[in-house]
Amino acid sequence: MDFLPIFLDIREQPCLVVGGGEVAARKCALLLRAGARVTIQAPALGRAFDADLAAARIAHRASSFHDEDAAGYALVIAATNDDAVNRAVAVAARARHIPVNVVDQPALCSFIMPSIVERAPLIVAVSSGGASPVLARLLRARLESLVPAGYGRLAELAAAFRDRVKARFKPAERRRFWERALQGPIAELVFSGRDEEARKALQETLGDTRLAFSGGEVSLVGAGPGDPDLLTFRALRLMQQADVVVYDRLVSQPVLNLVRLEAERIYAGKERAKHALPQEDINHLLVRLAREGKRVVRLKGGDPFIFGRGGEEIDTLAAEGIPFQVVPGITAAAGCASYAGIPLTHRDYAQSVVFVTGHMQDGTMNLNWRSLAQPRQTVVFYMGLVGIEVLCRELTAHGLPAATPAALIQQGTTPQQRVLTGTLESLPAIVRESGVKAPTLIIIGEVVRLRERLKWFEPAA
Ligand code: SAH
């Protein structure tokens, strides 16, 4: 992070804008909106200032800038089209430790101005750290369309009730109360301009104990195969509302970075034959955390119901009467296949796809090999790396040609993604020689050939 984002209180503070043109006028208007006492310095002012001058909202100092002119201000903006003047303003302000912004010259700035989405008192500020103001503005435009116009009034309503809610609820309950009030029917009332009804409804819910319930809940959330862009909206929302997150080894760091900062994080990772927490303990941990009244997110790689033991975890929750929900995620097969340019089905090559666990128990894999070794079918092995010899041997023995194309995808969808291709015959040697390691997905079938044609989709690592 190159800049610290902060919101500055400049109400009634003396601020100086140097420059008399359009840009200076815009900066001036912004400072006025934030309640500053603005002085504009320029030998002459453009028409854009007429109204503010007439209304005495700004003071005009009709002179060229000199070093000592910066003294005494809380904030200075240089907006002239003269580089030397802009530089002089920056030097003068910096020497006095006054925050200074020089329009369009990040190198001279001690602070930069973000693009803003204004729903006062609610403000969204977007900055590219000076790297690309256009990009920041594009993002701002998208946010504009995303944030309902009534958000400001909603924030005002919340402010009006803040003390009452604070007196009524404990902190955890309070947050839950607000989260429900601010995204449910009450918010919709405000968005449609029915503020008074919203106010009444909020008053009523203060007396409604159902909203203030103290019981926790568990969400089993699929975190996808690694790329945080592949999270669902619901996953993200729950991650950002969680009190505690219990996560697996497969959940990537960039995904974890999206969890609410204050949430407690508990690692329950699993590695082959080295379980950080036995499954039994995880199940009971979830129950205990929920009983403490917490919003628990059980974050699992891929999809919780595909080789994720999600079924066992909710079994315990159901038996113990804990409210829960399951949020699907993109499973490794779907993510890795897309990112490696291998369609799992294809009219000409595969009419079906099977997901199989290649996990070995007692050195064997108890699978229906005959049904797996079918023509025109794609077979995807999860956890198949250790058993690669066995699975290639068995598939060949049950009728698949040794020349059947196969792919290994390590850490699919992440910047570390690695794709190796070969055949059923060559795969074991490739695994031995390449040092490929878990998590790796194995895709077997004619569709792997398509990668040669389609791999330009692969994101640059
Ligand atoms: N529930 C998960 C699967 C858990 S089993 C899902 O739906 O994806 C763990 C196995 O998934 C790993 O051994 C590996 O075979 C596969 N896997 C998970 N994430 C992967 C990734 N990013 N790249 C390659 N394989 C992955």
Sketch the domain layout of the chain as residue ranges: 14-113, 150-207, 217-330, 333-454
Dihedral (Cα; 94, 97, 102, 105), 10-degree rounding: 60
Would you say residue 457 has pLDDT above 60?
Answer: no
Cis peptide bond N-terminal to 171, omega within 30:
no
Question: Comparing 70-79, 96-105, 286-295, 415-424, which segment has the lowest mean pLDDT?
Answer: 286-295
Catalytic residue, candidates 27, 69, 270, 303: 270
Query: What's residue 216's pLDDT?
Result: 77
Query: What's residue 215's pLDDT?
Result: 62
Ligand 1 pocket check: which of 382, 431, 458 to mutate, most ligand atoms within 8 Å of Cβ? 382
Enter the tokens of residue 35. 């309640």
Q: What percent of the chain is predicted at pLDDT more than 90?
A: 69
Could you give phi then psi for residue 339, rounded to 5 degrees?
A: -75, -15
pLDDT in tens, 16-33: 999 999 999 999 999 999
Task: Tell which atom from ligand 1 comes closest to the C-alpha of 381.
Answer: 15
| Band of pLDDT at residue 349, cut at 50, 70 and 90 | very high
80 contacts: CB under 8 Å, gap ≥ 6? 18, 19, 20, 21, 24, 42, 65, 86, 89
CATH fold for the domain made of 217-330: Cobalt-precorrin-4 Transmethylase; domain 1 (3.40.1010)
Verify whether residue 170 is a known catalytic residue.
no
Would you say residue 292 has pLDDT above 60?
Answer: yes
236 contacts: CB under 8 Å, gap ≥ 6? 258
Would you say residue 274 has pLDDT above 70?
Answer: no
Q: Measure CA 110 to chain center.
A: 28
Where is pLDDT greater, at 307 or 295?
307
Q: Are 74 and 63 in contact (CB under 8 A)?
A: no
226 Cβ closer than 6 Å to some ligand 1 atom:
yes
308 Cβ closer than 6 Å to some ligand 1 atom:
yes
387 Cβ closer than 6 Å to some ligand 1 atom:
no
Where is pLDDT greater, at 179 or 66?
66
306 Cβ closer than 6 Å to some ligand 1 atom:
yes
Ligand 1 pocket check: which of 229, 274, 441 to mutate, most ligand atoms within 8 Å of Cβ? 441
419-428: long-range pairs with CB below 8 Å, 24+: 419/340, 419/451, 419/455, 419/458, 421/448, 421/451, 424/392, 424/395, 424/396, 424/400, 425/392, 425/396, 427/388, 427/392, 428/388, 428/389, 428/392
Smallest Cα–Cα separation from 340: which of 413, 405, 428?
A: 413
Question: How many angstroms is it from 351 CA to the middle of ligand 1?
Answer: 23
Q: Are 60 and 85 in contact (CB under 8 A)?
A: no
CATH number of 14-113: 3.40.50.720
Where is pLDDT greater, at 383 or 270?
383
Query: What's residue 213's pLDDT?
Result: 46
440 Cβ closer than 6 Å to some ligand 1 atom:
yes
* Mean pLDDT across the chain: 91
Ligand 1 pocket check: which of 249, 299, 307, 359 to mutate, most ligand atoms within 8 Å of Cβ? 307
Residue type, 429: A
Question: How many angstroms is it from 358 CA to the middle of ligand 1?
Answer: 11
Question: How many angstroms is it from 411 CA to the middle of ligand 1?
Answer: 8
Query: What's residue 212's pLDDT?
Result: 45
| Band of pLDDT at residue 189, cut at 50, 70 and 90 | confident
Q: What percent of the chain is predicted at pLDDT more than 70?
A: 95
Query: Which residue's CA lies nearest to atom 3 of ligand 1?
Result: 307
Residue type, 105: Q
| Band of pLDDT at residue 209, cut at 50, 70 and 90 | low
Q: Measure CA 360 to chain center.
A: 36
Query: What's residue 455's pLDDT?
Result: 62
d(CA 400, CA 380): 14
pLDDT in tens, 355-379: 999 998 887 889 999 999 999 999 9
Query: What's residue 120's pLDDT?
Result: 87
Most confident of the following: 79-93, 194-208, 259-273: 79-93
| Band of pLDDT at residue 271, cut at 50, 70 and 90 | low
Question: Comparing 54-58, 155-159, 396-400, 452-456, which segment has the lowest mean pLDDT?
Answer: 452-456
310 Cβ closer than 6 Å to some ligand 1 atom:
no
d(CA 67, CA 78): 13
pLDDT in tens, 129-173: 878 888 988 999 888 877 888 899 999 999 999 999 999 888 888
| Band of pLDDT at residue 233, cut at 50, 70 and 90 | confident
Q: Are 17 and 38 in contact (CB under 8 A)?
A: yes
417 Cβ closer than 6 Å to some ligand 1 atom:
no
Average pLDDT over residues 108-136: 90
d(CA 251, CA 266): 12
Question: Comparing 129-133, 305-309, 433-437, which segment has the lowest mean pLDDT?
Answer: 129-133
d(CA 414, CA 227): 5
Verify whether residue 455 is a known catalytic residue.
no
Average pLDDT over residues 254-259: 95
Enter the tokens of residue 71. 């003294």
Task: Tell which atom from ligand 1 comes closest to the C-alpha of 252.
Answer: 22
Would you say residue 390 has pLDDT above 90?
Answer: yes
Average pLDDT over residues 249-269: 93
d(CA 182, CA 160): 13
d(CA 174, CA 90): 45
CATH for 333-454, among 3.40.50.300, 3.40.109.10, 3.90.470.20, 3.30.950.10?
Answer: 3.30.950.10
Question: How many angstroms is it from 439 CA to the middle of ligand 1?
Answer: 6
| Band of pLDDT at residue 461, cut at 50, 70 and 90 | very low
Query: What's residue 211's pLDDT?
Result: 47
d(CA 195, CA 201): 10
